[in-house]
Structures are given as C-alpha cells and as structure tokens.
C-alpha cells in the first residue's frame, strides 16, 4: 500500500466553483500557509456527467494538473454523494423514501437509495472512469469515496433487499419469528414477503422508538450493511485500476447510523470530520478522536474541521484566538496524521456560504483566521515526519458497540433520558481528566492486552462475549460495567434467569429491580468509608451473591442495599456500578479501579492540563495543552525540556495560557 510521506495539511477545495483566474491566486495564498494537500471532486458528479452518456473531464483535468505541478497531495473524491438531476428525471426510483414514507425528488445530498441498481450502475461507471484516468497519478495520495455516508431509505428496493438479508441471517421464517418475539401482539409472519420495513407506516412508533426492537435493530444493521456495500462497490472499482493508493471515506465520530467498527475492516485508513460546537466539552472532542483511532487501532486522517466557525449549528461561535491551533494539536495528540479543513475558500452561495474557510469572502490572506492557519501550517511543515504514524498505547479499553447503541435507545423504559454515548462519555471523562490513555474497542476485541476493560450499559450480550470477559477477568484483568448490562441477546430478547444475565456470575450480583428516577429525583448513598454521594436517572436494587458492597443507598425503600460492588473472580476483579453516580462518587469508584489494576496516568504529577503521549521508533512525544480558562503551571517533569513547536527551552517558571500548546520529546 502506498504511504503518505508527510503530514497532510489542506482541505476541501472547490475550484470548479470559481473562474480560473482565482486558481492561481489560491495557489499563491495557500503557499504562505505551507498547505500541501487538497481534497477535490467531492460533489462534482453533475459537472463531470452532464447527461446519461456524456462525460466531461476537461475541468477536473486542469485542476489535477495544476495541483500536481504545485506538488500537492491530492485527496481525490469520487463525487458520488449527490446525484445529478438527469438521473432523478429519468430514473425517479433512485431517490430515497424517508421514514414518513415519502419518495424524495432531486435535491440536497445523500439522496440515493443504496439498494437502487440504477444508482449502483452509474456509480460503478463513474468511479471506474475516474480510477482509470487518475489512478496512476503519483500525486493522488488518497481516494475519498462518497462523503459522510448516512441516512436511511424505506423504499420497495430496500424492503425487498431487507427480506433477502433476513433470509441469509435467519434461514427460516420460524427462526425470525422467535428472534423478534413476533408472538407478541399477534405479529407472526408466515412468508418472507409479509415483512415490512419499520418506518412510521409499519412498526415504528417514532424515529427513535419501536414496537419491536428486534426488527428495528436488524433494520439498522441492514442499512449500515447496505451503505457499506456501496462503499465496497466503489472501492473495488478503484482497485481495478489502482492497487496501491489508500481508500477511505469520511466518518462522523459517534454517529449513530453506521457500525463503524464493521466499516473500518473494509477501509485502508479511517478519516473523519470533527465539528464540535461552542460548548462541547474538550473531553468529548478527545473521545471522538480516540474512537476514530480505535476503529483500526492506528492513526487516522482528520478529513474536515473548520478553521473558524460552522454554519449549521444553532449557535456558530467563532474560534477564539489560539483555539484553532490547540484543537488541531489535540487532534494530532489523539492519533491524527493530517489536519484538513472544510473549506479552503468560502463559497459564495448555498447553505454553507457562512461556513468558515482558509480564505474568507474578502478573498485575501489579510485575516486573523488565515494568519492562524499559516502559523499552524509552518509549524507542521517544520516537524516534517517526526510524529507521522506515531502510535498510542493504553492500559484501559472502553467498549463501544453500535448494536448496544441502537438497542439501548430503542428500549421502551426504564428512563427516556438514558443515552448510550452520554454513558460512555462520563467514564471516558474520568480517564481524560486523569490523563490516562484509553483505547476504544469493539465487543469482540482481544481484551488480553489491557489491564482494565470498561463497558458501561452493556445492555446487549452477543455471541461469546460473556465467556471472553470471564477469561479476561479470571486471568487477572479488571472489568467495569453498570446498570442496564447483560439484559438482552442480539435480538433484544431478555436473558432469563435474573439480571445481569450472562454477566451475573462474573459480577457476583443479582439485580432484582431497576428503579427510574425523574429529573428532579435523587437517591443518597454512603460508601463504606462513610463518604456521602447521590444517584440519579437509574438505580438498581442489588442482592449480593459472591460480590462485596462498596456502599449502600441511604434513602428510598431500598435503603441499605448496595449501589456498587466488587467481585473477586479468578485472579481479577469485576466492578458493578448499579446507579448513575454523581461525578465525585464515580471518580471515587474509578480511582479504586485504577489502584486495583495498577493503572497510572501519562505523567504522575497532578495537572489541569491535557497531557497525551505518542511513540514512534522508540521516541516518545508529549502533547501538553491548556483547555482551561486560566493560565496553568508547567508540570515540573517537563522543566529543562524544549518545546519542539517554538524551539523554546522550558523552565520551572514556564506557564501555559489558555489554548497554549507544547510538544516535548521524552
């Protein structure tokens, strides 16, 4: 596989929206920022193919030639994320049918039915022509397939394809009826063509609720698989003409719609688009980077971020001075080997005309945003390949599973405010605040290389997961799980025999009931050392079997019963947290976990700074960032070192202002 030899710095470039007299000016301005890459042709299908039988590559040829002469690394889009108007006019069946049952006409993007044979036919033709024409260009560094895959279709094509997908999975209609518990409400089906898609006209109660979770979860799986087949189709078309250039598509962090761990197996590298809002916690921004790194357990591409502001969020605040630089280095600290923007020149029309850009509407380099882009670009250029492909090693794994994501949030009860990613984030935030590195892993990961495996709300237990967790703990590992874990199988049918189902022996507890607390309600708790705390959202009523209590509720009718436990299992331990703990109480439990498992922070010194570590060829690099609103002292372990970004010596008196960044070699 062809490898990129330098950190890509650039972004989404659309010269086709401008006259050619602008192109040379762009090249002049970009050079001042050490920009070395451009993502092109992402939404150019209508330009390239103005009618069914005509293809016109003249303008794209000029763009590719210009960028090649300037020695740019080209991220070449396949242009398949928005269909041309002629296709809708002649073949209206390519349009999606939405959740409400309406067939869409020409408009917007991500507008194609993934199971339309017409769409697939013309996608394959276009991509093969692109690959044949540009696949041997040495400046084409990465193929960028489609764009931000997502959304659902509920049309006749998808319904028929879903039935085939189900036949392949269940083999018999009897097995399907059992899996979906279709005896409930008399839903038994006797022929495959009696199955209908779960939209608002079928068994969906709303977009986020359903009468039959087994059916709706399977449709989520099917949609993710259908779009993945579209990606694989394009990938395979490229490979007919280009066997060595990496192929990717841009993901969207914790996006609910696609099983990204499954997708990552089909991709050469992971890329994604990072757009936090004005009030997104920096811990959550870091979480999404680490999730993207975890998909293939390797560095990723940042395909898009904004240099200044978004346009599509409710409140599109400007990045503060220094924020762009700090946010970019946080991305690199958590595994990125590129920094790329949307967009390079601010478009003059359409819904993204106020989305930030390297070159603003004024059309010159004389802007605050450009000066910050240039400062960062020159720093990255000076680093050359020093940190390119550096790795991250962690003692802690956090399980992220899209089946659990879907199943937990389809569940009718116990509390509508129980959200999967929120639960993941509160655990991640503890490790982030302690500067303890975390790997995100799928449910079928190899747990043996970790000291601690954390799986909050592991609602759905699939295949041999319980057995593998038992092996991990019995061999000396520490496992942490919570309420709403071990409840159902892969079809959302309850594991009978008492909660937490297959995890009951491992946790050493039986959960008799699950109480839901309204937003205004709280339970008080007391740890064994008499520390007081509170719980909210959900409270398990726990009976000890082999486990020991870490503390008990002190009010409600289940006062004196445990809220959290620890169970010795073989050579290791399982922690079960049966309630939504306040932050201080969760910190207390997880600190105990880390002590038990001998997990230590990246640096021993306590600090409010974010400190991350990557390693390459035996050399280590510390990224030190200040995301607080106050100036912070430098951890003394770094006194006497040199900041590689500014080539400045660090002393005991060095401080970091808000958004300050240091890069130090170990």
Element at 425 (helix H, strand E): helix 420-433
What is the 3-class SS of 488-548, one letter each residue?
A: ECCCCCECCCCECHHHHHHHCEEEEEEEECCCCCCEEEEECCCCEEEEEEEEEEEEECCCE
Residues assigned a catalytic role? 148, 304
The HSE-up count of residue 557 (CA atoms within 13 Å, CB side) is: 3
Omega before 392 cis (within 30°)? no
| Residue 272, φ and ψ in degrees, nearest 5 | -155, 165
3-state secondary structure of 168: helix
CB atoms within 10 A of CB 349: 7
Enumerate the H helices of 265-367 as residue ranges.
282-296, 323-333
The HSE-up count of residue 320 (CA atoms within 13 Å, CB side) is: 12
Report the alpha-carbon angle 601-607-612, nearest 5.
Answer: 50
Tell me 549's DSSP state: E
pLDDT digits (tens, 9 = 90+) for 79-135: 999 999 999 999 999 999 999 999 999 998 888 999 999 999 999 999 999 999 999
Determine the Cα–Cα distance for residues 464 and 321; give it in Å rounded to an integer.
Answer: 50
| Residue 183, φ and ψ in degrees, nearest 5 | -65, -30
Q: What is the chain's alpha carbon radius of gyration, rounded to the nearest angstrom?
A: 26
| CA distances (Å), origin 143, targets 203, 210, 244, 270, 327 | 39, 38, 10, 12, 26
Closest by Cα among 544, 587, 590 to 567: 544
- What pLDDT is attached to residue 111? 87
- What pLDDT is attached to residue 431? 98
- What pLDDT is attached to residue 110? 83
Closest by Cα among 373, 365, 379, 381 to 319: 373
| CA distances (Å), origin 234, targets 142, 143, 642 | 14, 10, 46
Tokens of 86: 């002629």
| Residue 507, φ and ψ in degrees, nearest 5 | -80, -25
- What pLDDT is attached to residue 109? 87
- What pLDDT is attached to residue 4? 86
In order of their start, the domains of the chain are 8-154+218-383 (3.20.20.80), 396-597 (3.40.50.880), 610-665 (2.60.40.1180)
CB atoms within 10 A of CB 572: 23
User: Which regions in the chain score pLDDT beneath 50?
Assistant: none
């Amino acid at each position: 596989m062809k490898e990129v030899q330098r950190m890509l710095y650039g972004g989404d470039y659309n010269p086709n929206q401008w006259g050619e007299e602008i192109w040379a000016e762009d090249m002049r301005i970009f050079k001042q920022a050490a920009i070395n890459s451009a993502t092109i042709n992402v939404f150019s299908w209508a330009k390239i193919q103005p009618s069914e039988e005509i293809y016109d590559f003249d303008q794209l040829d000029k763009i590719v030639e210009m960028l090649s002469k300037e020695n740019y690394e080209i991220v070449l889009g396949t242009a398949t994320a928005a269909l041309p108007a002629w296709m809708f006019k002649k073949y209206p069946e390519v349009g999606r049918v939405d959740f409400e049952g309406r067939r869409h006409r020409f408009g917007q993007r991500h507008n194609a039915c993934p199971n339309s044979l017409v769409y697939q036919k013309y996608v394959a033709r276009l991509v093969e022509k692109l690959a044949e024409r540009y696949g041997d260009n040495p400046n084409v560094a990465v193929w960028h397939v489609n764009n931000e895959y997502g959304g659902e279709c509920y049309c006749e094509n998808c319904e028929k394809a879903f039935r085939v997908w189900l036949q392949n999975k269940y083999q018999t209609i009897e097995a399907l009826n059992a899996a979906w518990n279709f005896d409930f409400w008399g839903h038994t089906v006797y022929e495959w063509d009696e199955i209908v898609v779960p939209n608002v006209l079928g068994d969906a109660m709303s977009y986020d609720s359903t009468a039959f979770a087994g059916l709706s979860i399977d449709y989520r799986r099917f949609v993710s698989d259908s779009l993945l087949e579209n990606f694989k189709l394009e990938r395979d078309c490229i490979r007919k003409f280009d066997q060595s250039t990496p192929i990717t598509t841009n993901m969207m962090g914790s996006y609910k719609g696609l099983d990204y761990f499954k997708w990552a197996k089909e991709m050469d590298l992971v890329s994604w688009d990072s757009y936090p809002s004005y009030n997104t916690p920096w811990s959550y921004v870091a979480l999404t980077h680490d999730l993207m790194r975890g998909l293939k357990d390797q560095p990723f591409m940042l395909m898009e971020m904004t240099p200044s502001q978004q346009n599509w969020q409710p409140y599109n605040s400007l990045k503060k001075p220094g924020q762009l630089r700090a946010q970019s280095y946080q991305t690199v600290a958590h595994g990125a080997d590129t920094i790329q923007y949307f967009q390079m020149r601010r478009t003059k029309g359409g819904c993204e005309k106020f989305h930030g850009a390297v070159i603003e509407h004024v059309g010159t380099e004389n802007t605050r945003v450009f000066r910050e882009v240039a400062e960062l670009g020159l720093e990255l250029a000076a680093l050359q390949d020093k940190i390119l492909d550096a790795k991250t090693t962690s003692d802690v794994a956090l399980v992220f599973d899209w089946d659990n994501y879907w199943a937990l949030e389809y569940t009718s009860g116990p509390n509508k405010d129980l959200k999967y990613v929120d639960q993941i984030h509160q655990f991640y935030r503890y490790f982030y605040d302690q500067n303890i590195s975390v790997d995100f892993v799928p449910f079928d990961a190899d747990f043996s290389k970790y000291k601690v495996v954390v799986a909050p709300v592991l609602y759905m237990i699939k295949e041999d997961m319980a057995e593998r967790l038992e092996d991990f703990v019995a061999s000396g590992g520490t496992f942490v799980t919570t309420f709403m874990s071990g409840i159902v199988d892969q079809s959302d049918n309850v594991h009978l025999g008492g909660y937490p189902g297959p995890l009951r022996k491992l946790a050493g507890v039986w959960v008799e009931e699950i109480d839901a607390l309204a937003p205004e309600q709280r339970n008080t708790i007391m740890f064994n050392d008499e520390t007081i705390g509170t719980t909210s959202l959900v409270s398990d009523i726990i009976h000890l079997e082999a486990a020991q209590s870490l503390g008990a509720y002190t009010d409600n009718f289940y006062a004196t019963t445990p809220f959290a436990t620890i169970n010795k299992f073989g050579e290791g331990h399982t922690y079960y947290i049966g309630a939504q703990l306040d932050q201080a109480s969760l910190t207390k439990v997880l600190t105990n976990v880390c002590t038990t498992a001998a997990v230590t922070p990246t640096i021993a010194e306590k600090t409010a700074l974010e400190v991350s570590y990557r390693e390459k060829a035996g050399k280590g690099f510390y990224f030190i960032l200040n995301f607080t609103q106050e100036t912070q002292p430098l951890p003394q372990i770094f006194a006497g070192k040199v900041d590689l970004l500014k080539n400045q010596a660090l002393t005991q008196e060095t401080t970091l202002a808000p958004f300050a960044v240091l890069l130090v070699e170990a």
